[in-house]
Structure 1
Amino acid sequence: MPNSRPRPRRGAGGGSGAAGRDRLVARSLQSAEHCLGAQDFGTAYAHYLLVLSLAPELKDDVKVRPSFPECLKRDQYRLRVPQDQVLNTKGTYLPKRDKGWGIRDKARRERTGRRGREAGRGEGMFAKNAGAHSVYACEVSRTMYKLACDIVAANKMDTGIQLLHMKSLDIEIPKHIPERLSLVVTETVDAGVFGEGIVESLIHAWEHLLLQPKTKGEKGNCGEYGKVIPASAVIFGMAVECAEIRRHHRVGTKDIAGVHLPADVKFQSPAYSAVDSGEAAEPYTTEKMSRVPGGYLPLTECFEIMKVDFNSLQELKGLAAKEPHPLSIPAVKEGLLDAVMVWFVLQLDDEHSLSTSPAEETCWEQAVYPVQALADYWIKPGDRVTMEASCQDCYLRIQSINILHLEHAMEVIHNCTESRDSLSRGNEAELCSALANLQTSRADALGQTCVLEPTEIALLNNLPYHEGFKMAMRKVLSSLAPEKLCQPVDPPCQDTEMNSASGQSAAAPSTSDPFYVLDVSEGFSLLPVIAGTLGEVKPYSSVEKDQHCVTLDLISEANHFPKETLEFWLRHIEDEAAVLQRPKSDKLWSIIILDVIEPSGLIQQEIMEKAAISRCLLQSGGKIFPQYVLMFGMLVESQTLVEESAVQGTEHTLGLNIAPFINQFQVPIRVFLDLSSLPCIPLSQPVELLRLDLMTPYLNTSSREVKVRICRSGRVTAVPFWFHLCLDDEVRLDTSGEASHWKQAAVVLNNPIRVQVGEELVLSVEHHKSNVSITVKQ
């Protein structure tokens, strides 16, 4: 459920200063070339983007590389389709998950196109069809600009639409456009409305590009002054209970596989940190709430957060300067307050609107503001959810979310004698002000704060994962030298108290050589601390961020580890790739833990190469975890996957010839899927597709054919797949399980296959290095 925008892999903040940046840039360029050679165009493109982000001065060098245009052309990430508008204020960006399929949102296109026809203006080609005299569209990405040129030419509109390869903020009159415009049509809105820069773009448009009223405030006939479509937006919110959001943004336990998490260590997700720190970063994540696994429970009625008039320059300019305004919303149901979800209604004109509500099936997700750092999340009817809303930094910010319990509200009303009458009339500002002084619900902010990605928080909440690793590690270490193991004490907190009272530690020092355990997990991992509880173990962690190291140190101290039991491997080496080497010149590892599956649901790049190195560094009887991986898949019918993977004909784009051009960027494999909530019909039982053995590579094969029997008639449109990570023959971790922090993926067929019950299809599975392809044969 993490925000779908691709994030840098572990190491993106590697090193310190310019040297660390240069090393990362060099590694990213090398990785891009490697991925390109393996025809993994999406990952290569992501590496190139990281290079350009870290080292903008290399943009000309990167752009002239022969591999980069090929990478753009065949990029597995679907790029944003350019919105050819009378004036387009949009640039190009990597989409949040499936946001790029907006071109296939028929209702949205029909409404916007209809308003263009009725007004004699409209989006790009719609506007030209409607009779607009001059149409201009701007696109900052060179690749998308060329794509737009091809689409316009294919629809025989290249003489009537002028495409500008630039940002709208850089357009000047008469340098680029001969005169001011009558209409700007823009869709620069994200799930949080303002996140794509619509406020800045429209301020510039009103000041420099749109026709002005003859007299200030005058409302003349259409054409005497400029207009914007959409005309305005109304932003709505709702407080919800949602277990899926909770497990990705709050650590829900104080004991993980025998490791106690101290009270002074607090975990937060980036969305919460951005809200409280005032950083110019998205203070929310996004979710398709209609598909969130397990659903959600509304705790309040829908409430209005704010309105904005896009046709008022004064209002647009004042939006970012406004002080946060308080909101106090009564609870209507009992439950756990997990998030405030937000959507909006775009008012295209006086008659037509477009809603991004979770009840509507559109391309937009909803903005989600997770609730964190409260002492008590339970809410019941009569209580109130309080918050502050603003548009600071041109982001919609919902902050200071809190619960005013009924008994506390009565106390506030009783004490606020001066405003008692106004409170009874519903003066929410007074109530919120009083609440701010009361400070009844927010937890103590003192202690170490550790910011983790949502997938990392979900990993901490994945108890079967940690228990499985603890069990498997104990079995391996016991087989090597059982006398070095600690006997487990349950519950772990009793162990802590006993050792504290006796002055002994959980893992007492010994004169004999310890076990050496190396964890090469991506991101934050508690596994080295868990390994340290098992006896005479010297665990090594490959976490890199200073706050993560400090947090693990505090957790180690709270569990009475001897000082410096836990080593941070990257503190001792310059090159991250050197993690896979001996702990000491004359020692080998007892256990090496590798991250095999990405949170997106795909196999990690170069994992087989890492496994080959790891096998050479194991002591006799030592193990790699997982020892082998099983890949499972099934046949399904899912129109949703079809429509989100490619433009389907011309119907969804109002008869325009767009599909052949956009589908050049068609995604062959969909990632970050939740199979438990994906709209689909299973047409077969799950089958084992592939085995990847990290300990005994001779068991691996590069290709395999699997027969699959059809158990339900329909159209096969996709092959979802997931993995079982086998730590040994008994301990397995299912990446599709309910507690899994991993998502799943699916191969989407170019041409659906109609099948009947009893038929058999053959799946051809090819494996090369870390890349797997699946072909369906009838």
Structure 2
Amino acid sequence: MSSLFSLLLPKTFISFRCHSVTRLRSSVAARTMSSQSSQRVFQLRQDPLTGNSEWIIIEDNDQPGTSTDGLLATTSYLDMLNDSRRNRAYRLAIEKTITEPCHVLDIGAGTGLLSMMAVRAMRGEEEESGDSKGMVTACESYLPMVKLMRKVLHKNGMTKNINLINKRSDELKVGSDIASRADVLVSEILDSELLGEGLIPSLQHAHDMLLVDNPKTVPYRATTYCQLVESRFLCNMNDLRNSEAKTSDGVRLVPPGLESLFGIKSQQYSMHVDAIEKDIKLLSEPVKIFEFDFWKRPESNGELDVHIEAITAGSVHAIISWWVLQLDSEGTIFYSTAPRWIDSNFEIGVRDWCDHWKQCVWFTPGAGVSISKGEKVHLHAAHTCTNILYNLKKTQSLTHETTHSPLSTGDLHLTLPPERVAIYGDSIYRQSLFEATRKALQGKSYPQCLVIDDSLLLPLMALHISNRSRVLSLSPGLQENAARYFEAIADSNDFSKDRFEYFREGKANLAKAYPSKIDLLIGEPYYSGLENGLPWQNLRFWKDRTLLDSVLSEDAVVMPYKGVLRGCAMYLPDLWKSRCCLGNVEGFDHALVNTTLGGCGDLPSGKDSPCLPFFIGQCGETKKLSKEFTVMEFDFSKRITGPCSGEVQIEFIKPGVCHGIALWMDWVMDEENSTVISTGPDEKYWKQGVKLLGKPVTVRVKGPSSSIGIQASLDLSSNSELIITHTIS
């Protein structure tokens, strides 16, 4: 089954050639071609600063110019290989399951770790080398990873007994790709929800076409669990209607009666819930939901009804879920993704923070479901081939159901990420935008306002503040859906539909249609689709503003007025450990993958770790060690004329070990700097960028100490990436 993904640094890469969704940080499309000499992948590269795309070619060889370094640097493979608890559990289960030479199938082989474990298990612990009658078939669909795996197998002397095939498992055919059906299946095609990487379709095809009857499998079984919780933090990510009812700006993104127009997708969202444990109130005991046996063919769909008794009174804002792997048939080796408040005595080894598997959150509708202690609620769970879905009801009535729209809005349902919903419900954020917009509109009689990003708040605020204003919106990500949405909520927000226009012709034709007529060019900035990117990718606003310079009137106001790249030195031991360079992984040398997978630590001279997007507040143990500092400033009142650069020497305020630099954007909304919107680590619904150092640095406040300097450069005029370097003295 094809999986979708994209890589967001410095470009977005798109391809259909992978089994793993969560290891590659997003989603997408590509084309493949083959010849007698090589396999090639046409992969779509998208520049988030412009929205433009181009096809690049990945060759199945190592000729000059075809290096895959950088394609895998923003994936979660490194984090997964640094998960010693996972690695040890798989090793023990494989050694226990594979006790004699046989045919082993490894689906989604990655770097080949499980395949090599299987070969070693067949050779026997006492046999140092020599031939084995066993064979491992390893299939990996993503070509850059196949190229890396070949190098790992060669380095570890494992090429002879591992048949590596660059295909999806459902493309394999017995008799052509493999000689016979496999006796044992080893796999790790799991995401945080369990099913999202195509586990069920992959198992179905394997049992139908690739495995013997009653095969051995590692893992043996997976079981999902869930728990009802109350959490204001989580409620804010879903219940915008009640959040904005408490605001005083008069703007309503979710007007009463039109709730069906706007919301988040009905799906589970992966999240480190341990990070918000203090904001979580447990309303039930953990409940077992679905069980999936790897050793037999799974069903495509399943349903379950269960009555859950409340252990305390509260409002069910969300359902938190996780899974437990039983890796061996006897039930002695387990791995769990449960939150830390769950008893974890069955787990192997010390539990470390990791990012490749998290818990999942399913939001209940509206303000949640109110329950009393001892009251039972009815939970209906269902799974498809790729998702697990929940529906929670009180047995008496569906008091939490939202009102359906009385208007004919067709199938329109504008969906945003939960974090964006929380931001739009934040009264401080809204007040800042409102005041900045009001100030920008002062003195303008019949202002023409142009919103060049995907903001939903700013068009409504401009229309609300000045009843003579007219708003044009480009909505590059939301496009026609934004137009339909604003038309549907016009009456509820007291503006006539002719005062808002979605400009369908694109930026190139805007200058012809509105030469020197725009009085206010604005953005939050926010671009739909860049939520998982790096904060400075929203500098696309400046890029677009430059392209549209000719549409601005002489006294036009640009808002925000300025962007500021800010930073802070951080103690990040958990994040560092998950991204540090590999050496020996369960007895297999993985040092050669470090540069390709974006490791930090012992990198070759001239190589550096990438900047990666993270919610700092969800990165395990963290601590600020320095004052916040400015790296670079970007003046949006002027066009882009050339490269920008900045340099700063970090001033430490706390002793400790510095693992990296957190980076984010502050948006200065006006020329007087009276309104500044920060997206820093203290703002828990925003993602920051993290630049991990070459090695951790011990710093002191008093006495001699290491000094860290940061240099940054960015040339938006040539679409270059942001380059961050550091020096330690």
Quick one: which amino acid aligns to residue 11 of structure 2? T
- Does 2:11 correspond to 1:43? yes
Matched residue SS, 2:180: coil
Q: Equivalent residue for 1:75?
A: 70
Change (3 A) 1:286 1:591: same
Shift of 1:617: 3.0
CA contact (8 A) 2:376 2:394 kept: yes
Q: Which residue of 1 aligns with 2:596?
A: 664
Structure 2 runs not aligned, ≥5 long: 18-24, 35-39, 45-54, 60-64, 105-113, 124-133, 341-350, 599-608
Number of the residue aligned with 1:271: 265
Pair 1:592-2:536 in alignment: no
- Which string of whole-angstrom CA distances, capped at 9 and with x for unpartnered residues, describes residues 518-552 of structure 1? 11123x51211210112211111223444432321
* CA offset digits 1:99-157 (Å, max 9, x no partner): 75211110111111012223335831111112252222111122211211111011011
User: Residue 690 of structure 1: CA displacement?
Assistant: 1.6
Per-residue CA distance 1:413-433 (angstroms, 9 max, x = gap): xxxxxxxxxxxxxxxxxxxxx
Asked if 1 retains the 8 angstrom alpha-carbon contact of 2:15 and 2:43, the reply is no
Measured in 2, the distance between the counterparts of 1:591 and 1:143 equals 42
Q: Does 1:773 align with 2:705?
A: no
How many residue pairs get matched?
626
Q: Structure 2 CA distance, aligned partners of 1:107 and 1:668?
A: 25
Distance 1:101 1:119 in 2: 26
The TM-score with structure 1 as length reference comes to: 0.73
Distance in 2 separating the partners of 1:142 and 1:701: 35
Q: Structure 1 residues 325-334 or 172-181, which shifts more?
A: 172-181
Distance 1:210 1:67 in 2: 34
Q: How far apart, in 2, do the equivalents of 1:151 and 1:285 lie?
A: 33
* Greater strand fraction, Structure 1 or Structure 2: 2
Q: Tell me the equivalent position of 1:506.
A: none
Change (3 A) 1:198 1:346: same
Tell me, in whole angstroms, the C-alpha distance in 2 between the residues paired with 1:584 and 1:661. Answer: 53
Question: Aligned partners of 1:625 and 1:292: how far apart in 2?
Answer: 33
2 CA distance for matches of 1:581 and 1:630? 28
Q: 1:527 aligns with which of 451, 458, 475?
A: 458
Aligned AA (1:444)? T
> Which residue, out of 310, 333, 350, partners 1:352?
333
Match of 1:463 among 423, 427, 433: 427
For 2:659, the equivalent position in structure 1 comes to 717
**Distance (whole Å) between structure 2 residues aligned to residue 328 and residue 46 of structure 1:** 43
Counterparts of 1:554 and 1:763, CA distance in 2: 48
Give secondary structure in 2 for the equivalent of 1:665.
coil
The letter for the 2-side match of 1:357 is A
| SS of equivalent residue, structure 1 residue 129 | helix
Instruction: Please give the alpha-carbon distance, in whole angstroms, between the structure 2 residues aligned to 1:61 and 1:153.
Output: 23
**Equivalent position amino acid for 2:13 in 1:** Y
Does the 8 A contact of 1:124 with 1:135 survive in 2? yes
Q: Give the conservation status (yes or no) of the 8 Å contact 1:242–1:294.
A: no
Write the mapping of 1:414-563 to structure 2, written as runs, cut at 5 A: 438-447=397-406, 448=409, 450-454=413-417, 455-478=419-442, 480-481=443-444, 484=445, 514-522=446-454, 524-535=455-466, 536-543=468-475, 544-563=478-497
Matched, 1:189 2:190: yes
Q: C-alpha separation between the residues in 2 aligned to 1:555 and 1:450?
A: 13
Q: In the alignment, is the contact (CA less than 8 A) between 1:726 and 1:733 conserved in 2?
A: yes
- Deviations along 1:543-575, one digit per CA (max 9) or x if unpaired, are 3444432321232211321341111122xx1xx
Residue 332 (structure 2) pairs with residue 343 (structure 1): no
1:358 is paired with a residue whose SS is: coil
Residues 1:194 and 1:613: Cα distance change in structure 2 (over 3 Å):
closer
Alignment of 1:105-144 (within 5 A): 105-120=83-98, 123-131=114-122, 133-144=134-145
1:727 alignment counterpart: 669
1:761 aligns with 2:703: no
Instruction: Kindly indicate whether residue 535 of structure 2 is the aligned counterpart of residue 602 of structure 1.
Output: yes
1:309 to 278, 285, 293: 293
Q: Is the 8 A contact 1:685 1:711 kept in 2?
A: yes
Distance 1:670 1:548 in 2: 30
Does residue 751 of the first structure (1) align with residue 695 of the second (2)?
yes
In 2, the alpha carbon distance for the partners of 1:365 and 1:384 equals 28
CA contact (8 A) 2:452 2:541 kept: no
Q: How far apart, in 2, do the equivalents of 1:321 and 1:635 lie?
A: 48
Distance 1:301 1:71, change over 3 A: farther
Q: Contact 2:536/2:565 (CA < 8 Å) preserved in 1?
A: no
CA contact (8 A) 1:271 1:369 kept: no
For residue 62 of structure 1, report the CA deviation from its aligned partner. 2.8
Deviations 1:366-416 (A, max 9, x none): 222211256x53333133332212223x13433322234xxx3xxxxxxxx
Which residue number in structure 1 is paired with residue 545 of structure 2? 611
Alignment of 1:75-224 (within 5 A): 75=70, 78=73, 98=76, 101-120=79-98, 123-131=114-122, 133-212=134-213
CA distance in 1, matches of 2:405, 2:79: 44
Distance 1:462 1:76 in 2: 36
Residue 110 of structure 2 is matched in structure 1 by none
Further displaced range: 301-310 or 543-552: 543-552
RMSD (CA atoms)? 3.3
Partner AA of 1:259 in structure 2: V
Identity %: 19
State the AA in 2 paired with 1:591. L
One-letter code aligned to 1:748: L
C-alpha separation in 2, matches of 1:293 and 1:727? 34
Q: Is the counterpart of residue 378 in structure 1 residue 370 in structure 2? A: yes
Equivalent residue in structure 2 for 1:635, among 550, 565, 569 = 569
Q: CA deviation at 1:585?
A: 4.4
CA distance in structure 2 between the partners assigned to 1:306 and 1:52 by the alignment: 26
Mark the CA change 1:61 to 1:749 in structure 2 (over 3 Å): closer, same or farther. closer
The residue type paired with residue 108 of structure 1 is R
Secondary structure at the counterpart of residue 245 of structure 1: helix
- The amino acid across from 1:329 in the alignment is I
CA drift of 1:331 comes to 1.4
CA distance in 1, matches of 2:29, 2:564: 37
- In 2, Cα distance between the equivalents of 1:585 and 1:713? 56
1:501-521 C-alpha deviation (Å, 9 max, x unpaired): xxxxxxxxxxxxx21011112
State the Cα distance separating 1:205 from its structure 2 match: 2.5
Cα distance in 2, alignment partners of residues 754 and 312 from structure 1: 52
TM-score (norm 2): 0.78
Equivalent-residue separation in structure 2 for 1:179 and 1:698 (angstroms):
62
Q: Secondary structure at the match of 1:711?
A: coil
Q: Deviations over 1:224-248 (max 9, x none)?
A: x521111112211111223333223
Which is helix-richer, 1 or 2?
A: 1
Aligned mates of 1:772, 1:144 — CA distance in 2 = 26
Partner-residue secondary structure (3-state), 2:200: helix
Tell me the SS of whatever aligns to 2:498.
coil
Q: How far is 1:664 from its partner?
A: 1.0
Structure with the greater alpha carbon radius of gyration: 1
SS at match of 2:141: coil
1:372 match: secondary structure: coil
CA distance in 1, matches of 2:94, 2:29: 41
Q: What's the CA shift for 1:71?
A: 8.2
Which among 397, 400, 403 is matched to residue 391 of structure 2? 400
Aligned residue runs from structure 1 range 26-37, under 5 A: none
Shift of 1:615: 4.2
Structure 1 distance, partners of 2:305, 2:27, is 40
* 1:235–1:304 contact (8 Å) kept in structure 2: yes
Report if aligned partners of 1:516, 1:583 keep a CA contact under 8 Å in 2. no
Match of 1:208, SS state, is: helix
Whether the aligned pair in 1 keeps the contact of 2:535 and 2:665 (CA below 8 Å) is: no
